[in-house]
Amino acid sequence: MQLFLYPGEYVPIIFVDHSIDCSYAHKAANVQKRGGRVMLIASDSNILEEEYNVDDPTEIVSIPTIIIEKDFGDIIREYTKFKKDTNDFIVISIKFTGVKEGGFVEIELFMRSDDLKARNFFSEFSYYKEKLGEKLKFVPIYKYSKIVNEQYDDDISIANSKSIIPCVKESRMCATSNRPMQIENPRKILIENIRESCIYQEFGQEIYWKYMVQFNELCFDIKNPLFNDECALSVLKKISFTENEFETLNKSMIQLVQYESKIDNDYNTFNKRKIYSIPDLFINGVPYRGTWYSKYIFRSICNGFLDDEKICEGINPREVIYNQRVGNGVLIFIIVMIILVTSLSLMCYKRYINKNLEDALSERIEEQTMKSISQYQMFQDTKKHGSQLELVSE
Protein backbone atom coordinates (compact mmCIF):
# COMPACT_ATOMS: atom_id res chain seq x y z
CA MET A 1 0.00 0.00 0.00
CA GLN A 2 1.59 3.30 -1.07
CA LEU A 3 0.69 6.66 0.44
CA PHE A 4 2.26 10.06 -0.11
CA LEU A 5 3.76 12.59 2.25
CA TYR A 6 2.35 16.12 2.29
CA PRO A 7 3.06 19.07 2.46
CA GLY A 8 6.19 19.56 0.39
CA GLU A 9 7.36 17.09 -2.21
CA TYR A 10 5.42 13.92 -2.86
CA VAL A 11 7.37 11.22 -1.08
CA PRO A 12 6.20 7.61 -1.41
CA ILE A 13 5.23 5.99 1.88
CA ILE A 14 4.76 2.23 2.13
CA PHE A 15 2.23 1.10 4.73
CA VAL A 16 2.88 -2.34 6.26
CA ASP A 17 1.40 -4.42 9.05
CA HIS A 18 3.15 -5.66 12.16
CA SER A 19 4.12 -9.34 12.07
CA ILE A 20 6.58 -11.57 13.88
CA ASP A 21 8.16 -13.08 10.78
CA CYS A 22 10.98 -10.51 10.60
CA SER A 23 12.37 -7.51 12.44
CA TYR A 24 11.28 -3.94 11.74
CA ALA A 25 14.77 -3.30 10.35
CA HIS A 26 14.24 -6.05 7.75
CA LYS A 27 10.79 -4.65 6.87
CA ALA A 28 12.27 -1.17 6.45
CA ALA A 29 15.00 -2.58 4.19
CA ASN A 30 12.34 -4.17 1.98
CA VAL A 31 10.42 -0.88 1.84
CA GLN A 32 13.62 0.92 0.89
CA LYS A 33 14.31 -1.59 -1.92
CA ARG A 34 10.82 -0.99 -3.33
CA GLY A 35 11.49 2.74 -3.55
CA GLY A 36 9.70 3.78 -0.36
CA ARG A 37 11.06 6.85 1.39
CA VAL A 38 9.16 6.31 4.64
CA MET A 39 7.84 3.14 6.28
CA LEU A 40 4.55 3.49 8.15
CA ILE A 41 3.94 0.37 10.20
CA ALA A 42 0.74 -0.45 12.09
CA SER A 43 1.20 -2.28 15.38
CA ASP A 44 -1.03 -5.20 16.32
CA SER A 45 -2.02 -3.45 19.56
CA ASN A 46 -2.56 0.05 20.92
CA ILE A 47 0.42 -0.27 23.25
CA LEU A 48 3.68 0.29 21.41
CA GLU A 49 6.54 -1.99 22.42
CA GLU A 50 10.22 -1.61 21.55
CA GLU A 51 11.56 -5.11 22.11
CA TYR A 52 10.68 -6.39 18.64
CA ASN A 53 12.58 -3.64 16.86
CA VAL A 54 15.92 -5.37 17.40
CA ASP A 55 19.25 -4.61 15.83
CA ASP A 56 19.74 -6.38 12.50
CA PRO A 57 23.38 -6.10 11.34
CA THR A 58 22.53 -7.59 7.93
CA GLU A 59 20.41 -4.58 6.93
CA ILE A 60 21.46 -1.05 6.01
CA VAL A 61 18.46 1.26 6.41
CA SER A 62 18.45 5.00 5.67
CA ILE A 63 14.71 5.76 5.69
CA PRO A 64 12.64 6.83 8.72
CA THR A 65 10.20 4.42 10.31
CA ILE A 66 6.92 5.47 11.93
CA ILE A 67 5.11 3.02 14.22
CA ILE A 68 1.45 3.76 14.92
CA GLU A 69 -1.19 2.21 17.17
CA LYS A 70 -3.55 -0.48 15.85
CA ASP A 71 -6.67 1.75 15.90
CA PHE A 72 -4.95 4.44 13.84
CA GLY A 73 -3.69 1.79 11.42
CA ASP A 74 -7.21 0.38 11.06
CA ILE A 75 -8.52 3.83 10.12
CA ILE A 76 -5.90 4.22 7.38
CA ARG A 77 -6.52 0.67 6.14
CA GLU A 78 -10.29 1.17 5.87
CA TYR A 79 -9.89 4.53 4.15
CA THR A 80 -7.54 3.07 1.55
CA LYS A 81 -10.10 0.34 0.82
CA PHE A 82 -12.75 3.03 0.33
CA LYS A 83 -10.49 5.00 -2.07
CA LYS A 84 -9.20 1.93 -3.88
CA ASP A 85 -11.49 2.21 -6.92
CA THR A 86 -11.10 5.97 -7.38
CA ASN A 87 -7.42 5.90 -8.44
CA ASP A 88 -6.85 8.93 -6.22
CA PHE A 89 -3.69 9.48 -4.26
CA ILE A 90 -3.99 9.24 -0.49
CA VAL A 91 -2.11 12.15 1.05
CA ILE A 92 -0.86 12.11 4.64
CA SER A 93 0.67 15.03 6.49
CA ILE A 94 3.59 13.93 8.66
CA LYS A 95 5.77 16.27 10.66
CA PHE A 96 9.09 15.13 12.10
CA THR A 97 9.85 17.16 15.20
CA GLY A 98 13.45 18.19 15.64
CA VAL A 99 15.48 16.06 18.01
CA LYS A 100 18.82 17.79 17.61
CA GLU A 101 19.77 19.18 20.99
CA GLY A 102 22.88 21.07 19.96
CA GLY A 103 24.27 21.04 23.50
CA PHE A 104 25.38 17.48 24.27
CA VAL A 105 24.77 13.85 23.45
CA GLU A 106 23.99 11.35 26.19
CA ILE A 107 24.71 7.70 25.39
CA GLU A 108 23.27 5.14 27.77
CA LEU A 109 24.72 1.65 27.38
CA PHE A 110 22.72 -1.17 29.00
CA MET A 111 25.23 -3.97 29.52
CA ARG A 112 26.95 -6.53 31.68
CA SER A 113 30.67 -6.56 32.36
CA ASP A 114 31.08 -9.91 30.59
CA ASP A 115 29.25 -8.98 27.38
CA LEU A 116 31.61 -9.20 24.39
CA LYS A 117 29.65 -6.85 22.12
CA ALA A 118 29.45 -4.18 24.82
CA ARG A 119 33.14 -4.43 25.68
CA ASN A 120 34.15 -4.15 22.04
CA PHE A 121 32.09 -0.97 21.82
CA PHE A 122 34.57 0.90 24.03
CA SER A 123 37.56 0.07 21.85
CA GLU A 124 35.75 0.60 18.55
CA PHE A 125 33.99 3.84 19.50
CA SER A 126 37.04 5.48 21.12
CA TYR A 127 37.91 7.48 17.99
CA TYR A 128 34.42 8.99 17.80
CA LYS A 129 34.39 9.60 21.54
CA GLU A 130 37.44 11.83 21.06
CA LYS A 131 35.69 13.66 18.21
CA LEU A 132 32.66 14.31 20.40
CA GLY A 133 34.82 15.49 23.28
CA GLU A 134 32.90 17.40 25.95
CA LYS A 135 29.71 17.03 23.91
CA LEU A 136 29.47 13.40 25.02
CA LYS A 137 27.96 12.26 28.29
CA PHE A 138 28.26 8.52 28.69
CA VAL A 139 26.24 6.51 31.21
CA PRO A 140 26.78 2.76 31.77
CA ILE A 141 23.81 0.86 33.24
CA TYR A 142 24.57 -2.64 34.48
CA LYS A 143 22.25 -5.62 34.45
CA TYR A 144 21.52 -7.50 37.68
CA SER A 145 19.11 -10.34 38.29
CA LYS A 146 17.02 -11.16 41.34
CA ILE A 147 17.08 -14.80 42.41
CA VAL A 148 14.62 -15.72 45.13
CA ASN A 149 15.98 -17.68 48.11
CA GLU A 150 19.54 -17.49 46.76
CA GLN A 151 22.34 -16.94 49.27
CA TYR A 152 24.04 -13.56 49.33
CA ASP A 153 27.52 -12.55 50.37
CA ASP A 154 28.38 -8.88 50.94
CA ASP A 155 32.10 -9.53 51.41
CA ILE A 156 33.57 -8.33 48.11
CA SER A 157 37.19 -8.09 49.27
CA ILE A 158 39.98 -9.77 47.33
CA ALA A 159 40.43 -12.14 50.26
CA ASN A 160 36.95 -13.44 49.48
CA SER A 161 37.55 -13.68 45.72
CA LYS A 162 37.11 -17.48 45.71
CA SER A 163 33.47 -17.18 46.78
CA ILE A 164 30.92 -18.68 44.38
CA ILE A 165 27.82 -17.05 45.88
CA PRO A 166 26.25 -15.12 42.97
CA CYS A 167 24.35 -12.43 44.95
CA VAL A 168 24.92 -9.42 47.20
CA LYS A 169 22.52 -7.44 49.38
CA GLU A 170 19.43 -8.75 51.08
CA SER A 171 17.52 -7.90 47.91
CA ARG A 172 19.55 -10.65 46.17
CA MET A 173 21.12 -8.62 43.37
CA CYS A 174 22.77 -11.41 41.41
CA ALA A 175 24.64 -12.34 38.27
CA THR A 176 24.67 -15.51 36.22
CA SER A 177 27.55 -17.39 34.60
CA ASN A 178 28.81 -16.98 31.05
CA ARG A 179 29.74 -20.38 29.65
CA PRO A 180 30.54 -19.20 26.09
CA MET A 181 33.24 -16.95 27.60
CA GLN A 182 34.32 -19.71 30.03
CA ILE A 183 33.29 -17.66 33.07
CA GLU A 184 31.65 -20.35 35.17
CA ASN A 185 31.64 -18.42 38.47
CA PRO A 186 28.88 -15.74 38.33
CA ARG A 187 30.46 -14.04 41.35
CA LYS A 188 33.28 -12.75 39.14
CA ILE A 189 30.80 -11.04 36.82
CA LEU A 190 28.89 -9.55 39.75
CA ILE A 191 32.04 -8.07 41.34
CA GLU A 192 33.25 -6.68 38.01
CA ASN A 193 29.86 -4.98 37.49
CA ILE A 194 30.24 -3.34 40.90
CA ARG A 195 33.89 -2.38 40.35
CA GLU A 196 33.18 -0.72 37.00
CA SER A 197 30.17 1.14 38.41
CA CYS A 198 32.35 2.52 41.21
CA ILE A 199 35.12 3.58 38.83
CA TYR A 200 32.54 5.47 36.81
CA GLN A 201 30.97 7.11 39.90
CA GLU A 202 34.18 8.04 41.70
CA PHE A 203 36.55 8.92 38.85
CA GLY A 204 34.36 9.98 35.92
CA GLN A 205 33.83 8.76 32.38
CA GLU A 206 37.38 9.44 31.12
CA ILE A 207 39.08 7.15 33.65
CA TYR A 208 36.22 4.69 33.33
CA TRP A 209 36.64 4.57 29.53
CA LYS A 210 40.40 4.00 29.81
CA TYR A 211 39.80 1.16 32.25
CA MET A 212 37.23 -0.48 29.97
CA VAL A 213 39.52 -0.36 26.92
CA GLN A 214 42.50 -1.76 28.84
CA PHE A 215 40.42 -4.44 30.55
CA ASN A 216 39.12 -5.54 27.17
CA GLU A 217 42.67 -5.88 25.85
CA LEU A 218 44.31 -7.51 28.88
CA CYS A 219 41.60 -9.51 30.65
CA PHE A 220 38.98 -10.41 28.08
CA ASP A 221 40.77 -12.63 25.60
CA ILE A 222 38.11 -14.89 24.07
CA LYS A 223 40.45 -17.90 24.13
CA ASN A 224 41.59 -17.34 27.71
CA PRO A 225 39.60 -14.68 29.61
CA LEU A 226 41.38 -13.64 32.83
CA PHE A 227 38.14 -12.37 34.31
CA ASN A 228 39.24 -11.94 37.94
CA ASP A 229 40.32 -9.46 40.60
CA GLU A 230 44.02 -9.91 39.90
CA CYS A 231 43.71 -8.90 36.25
CA ALA A 232 41.43 -5.97 37.14
CA LEU A 233 44.02 -4.69 39.63
CA SER A 234 46.76 -4.95 37.00
CA VAL A 235 44.62 -2.82 34.65
CA LEU A 236 44.15 -0.18 37.37
CA LYS A 237 47.91 -0.07 37.89
CA LYS A 238 48.42 0.27 34.14
CA ILE A 239 46.22 3.38 34.06
CA SER A 240 48.29 4.79 36.99
CA PHE A 241 45.97 4.32 39.95
CA THR A 242 47.56 5.55 43.19
CA GLU A 243 47.25 3.94 46.63
CA ASN A 244 44.72 6.62 47.66
CA GLU A 245 42.65 5.91 44.56
CA PHE A 246 42.71 2.18 45.29
CA GLU A 247 41.46 2.91 48.81
CA THR A 248 38.72 5.20 47.49
CA LEU A 249 37.60 2.50 45.05
CA ASN A 250 37.46 -0.18 47.77
CA LYS A 251 35.35 2.04 50.05
CA SER A 252 33.03 2.89 47.20
CA MET A 253 32.50 -0.79 46.34
CA ILE A 254 31.64 -1.60 49.96
CA GLN A 255 29.14 1.28 50.11
CA LEU A 256 27.59 0.21 46.82
CA VAL A 257 26.78 -3.15 48.37
CA GLN A 258 25.65 -1.95 51.79
CA TYR A 259 23.33 0.94 50.93
CA GLU A 260 20.67 1.95 48.42
CA SER A 261 22.93 2.66 45.48
CA LYS A 262 23.64 2.45 41.76
CA ILE A 263 23.04 -1.32 41.85
CA ASP A 264 19.41 -0.74 42.79
CA ASN A 265 19.08 2.21 40.40
CA ASP A 266 20.45 0.17 37.49
CA TYR A 267 18.08 -2.71 38.24
CA ASN A 268 15.09 -0.37 38.38
CA THR A 269 16.14 1.41 35.17
CA PHE A 270 16.28 -1.91 33.30
CA ASN A 271 12.72 -2.64 34.40
CA LYS A 272 11.43 0.87 33.70
CA ARG A 273 12.90 0.96 30.18
CA LYS A 274 11.81 -2.65 29.53
CA ILE A 275 15.26 -3.78 28.44
CA TYR A 276 14.97 -7.47 27.68
CA SER A 277 18.24 -8.10 25.86
CA ILE A 278 21.73 -6.69 26.20
CA PRO A 279 23.62 -4.77 25.11
CA ASP A 280 21.21 -1.98 24.28
CA LEU A 281 22.01 1.61 23.37
CA PHE A 282 20.01 4.80 23.93
CA ILE A 283 20.94 8.19 22.49
CA ASN A 284 19.36 11.13 24.33
CA GLY A 285 16.71 8.77 25.63
CA VAL A 286 15.88 7.36 22.17
CA PRO A 287 16.63 3.66 21.56
CA TYR A 288 19.22 3.11 18.84
CA ARG A 289 18.09 0.50 16.34
CA GLY A 290 20.79 0.71 13.71
CA THR A 291 23.85 -1.38 12.95
CA TRP A 292 26.39 -1.57 15.79
CA TYR A 293 29.31 -0.31 13.72
CA SER A 294 30.79 2.74 15.41
CA LYS A 295 30.70 4.88 12.27
CA TYR A 296 26.97 4.26 11.91
CA ILE A 297 26.32 5.11 15.55
CA PHE A 298 28.29 8.33 15.10
CA ARG A 299 26.43 9.10 11.88
CA SER A 300 23.11 8.66 13.71
CA ILE A 301 24.30 11.04 16.43
CA CYS A 302 25.21 13.71 13.91
CA ASN A 303 22.09 13.28 11.78
CA GLY A 304 19.58 13.18 14.60
CA PHE A 305 20.97 14.55 17.85
CA LEU A 306 23.93 16.86 17.42
CA ASP A 307 23.92 20.19 15.61
CA ASP A 308 27.65 20.81 15.34
CA GLU A 309 29.14 21.16 11.85
CA LYS A 310 32.73 21.10 13.12
CA ILE A 311 32.37 17.72 14.86
CA CYS A 312 30.17 16.20 12.16
CA GLU A 313 32.13 17.56 9.20
CA GLY A 314 32.37 15.05 6.37
CA ILE A 315 29.38 12.94 7.44
CA ASN A 316 27.59 11.82 4.29
CA PRO A 317 24.97 9.15 4.96
CA ARG A 318 24.44 8.33 1.29
CA GLU A 319 28.17 7.85 0.73
CA VAL A 320 28.44 5.56 3.75
CA ILE A 321 25.48 3.50 2.55
CA TYR A 322 26.90 3.45 -1.00
CA ASN A 323 30.26 2.22 0.26
CA GLN A 324 28.54 -0.44 2.29
CA ARG A 325 26.55 -1.53 -0.74
CA VAL A 326 29.73 -1.56 -2.85
CA GLY A 327 31.33 -3.71 -0.18
CA ASN A 328 28.33 -6.02 -0.24
CA GLY A 329 28.53 -6.12 -4.05
CA VAL A 330 32.20 -7.13 -3.93
CA LEU A 331 31.37 -9.81 -1.39
CA ILE A 332 28.55 -11.14 -3.59
CA PHE A 333 30.91 -11.13 -6.61
CA ILE A 334 33.50 -13.13 -4.67
CA ILE A 335 30.87 -15.64 -3.55
CA VAL A 336 29.59 -16.03 -7.13
CA MET A 337 33.15 -16.55 -8.40
CA ILE A 338 33.79 -19.18 -5.72
CA ILE A 339 30.60 -20.99 -6.76
CA LEU A 340 31.58 -20.83 -10.44
CA VAL A 341 35.12 -22.08 -9.79
CA THR A 342 33.78 -24.86 -7.58
CA SER A 343 31.22 -25.87 -10.23
CA LEU A 344 33.87 -25.90 -12.97
CA SER A 345 36.20 -27.92 -10.77
CA LEU A 346 33.46 -30.45 -10.10
CA MET A 347 32.64 -30.69 -13.82
CA CYS A 348 36.31 -31.21 -14.69
CA TYR A 349 36.67 -33.78 -11.94
CA LYS A 350 33.53 -35.56 -13.13
CA ARG A 351 34.87 -35.68 -16.70
CA TYR A 352 38.23 -36.96 -15.42
CA ILE A 353 36.51 -39.73 -13.45
CA ASN A 354 34.29 -40.66 -16.42
CA LYS A 355 37.31 -40.76 -18.76
CA ASN A 356 39.19 -43.04 -16.37
CA LEU A 357 36.14 -45.26 -16.05
CA GLU A 358 35.73 -45.43 -19.84
CA ASP A 359 39.42 -46.28 -20.33
CA ALA A 360 39.31 -48.91 -17.61
CA LEU A 361 36.11 -50.38 -19.02
CA SER A 362 37.49 -50.44 -22.60
CA GLU A 363 40.67 -52.10 -21.40
CA ARG A 364 38.66 -54.68 -19.49
CA ILE A 365 36.40 -55.38 -22.48
CA GLU A 366 39.42 -55.75 -24.77
CA GLU A 367 41.08 -58.10 -22.31
CA GLN A 368 37.95 -60.23 -22.03
CA THR A 369 37.54 -60.26 -25.81
CA MET A 370 41.11 -61.43 -26.38
CA LYS A 371 40.70 -64.06 -23.72
CA SER A 372 37.49 -65.33 -25.36
CA ILE A 373 39.15 -65.48 -28.79
CA SER A 374 42.11 -67.36 -27.35
CA GLN A 375 39.83 -69.87 -25.66
CA TYR A 376 37.85 -70.35 -28.89
CA GLN A 377 41.04 -71.03 -30.88
CA MET A 378 42.16 -73.56 -28.29
CA PHE A 379 38.78 -75.27 -28.57
CA GLN A 380 39.05 -75.46 -32.37
CA ASP A 381 42.58 -76.86 -32.17
CA THR A 382 41.51 -79.48 -29.68
CA LYS A 383 38.55 -80.51 -31.84
CA LYS A 384 40.77 -80.81 -34.94
CA HIS A 385 43.40 -82.99 -33.24
CA GLY A 386 40.67 -85.20 -31.83
CA SER A 387 39.30 -85.98 -35.33
CA GLN A 388 42.78 -86.95 -36.63
CA LEU A 389 43.26 -89.37 -33.79
CA GLU A 390 39.98 -91.06 -34.63
CA LEU A 391 41.10 -91.59 -38.23
CA VAL A 392 44.38 -93.15 -37.23
CA SER A 393 42.68 -95.58 -34.87
CA GLU A 394 40.41 -96.85 -37.69
280 burial type by CB count under 10 A (0-12 exposed, 13-18 middle, 19+ buried) = buried
Kindly report the average pLDDT of the chain as a whole number: 79
**Helices 186-218 and 229-238, interaxial angle, to 10°?**
30
Alpha-carbon torsion (94, 100, 106, 109), positive or negative: positive
pLDDT of residue 365: 61
What number is the average pLDDT over the span 122-126? 95
Q: Is the pLDDT of residue 328 over 60?
A: no
Whether the Cβ atoms of residue 56 and residue 292 lie closer than 8 Å to each other: no
Prediction pTM value: 0.62
pLDDT of residue 323: 44
Residue 7: asked if its preceding bond is cis (omega within 30°), the reply is yes
**Helices 116-124 and 186-218, interaxial angle, to 10°?**
30
The percentage of residues in the chain with a pLDDT greater than 90, rounded to a whole number, is: 39
What distance lies between CA 33 and its chain's CA centroid? 22
Q: Is the pLDDT of residue 354 over 80?
A: no
Q: Which has more confidence, 152 or 308?
A: 152
Q: Is the pLDDT of residue 247 over 50?
A: yes
Whether the Cβ atoms of residue 222 and residue 213 lie closer than 8 Å to each other: no
The Cα–Cα gap between 313 and 320 comes to: 14
pLDDT of residue 268: 95
**What are the structural domains of the chain?**
2-93 (3.50.30.30), 105-319 (3.40.30.10)
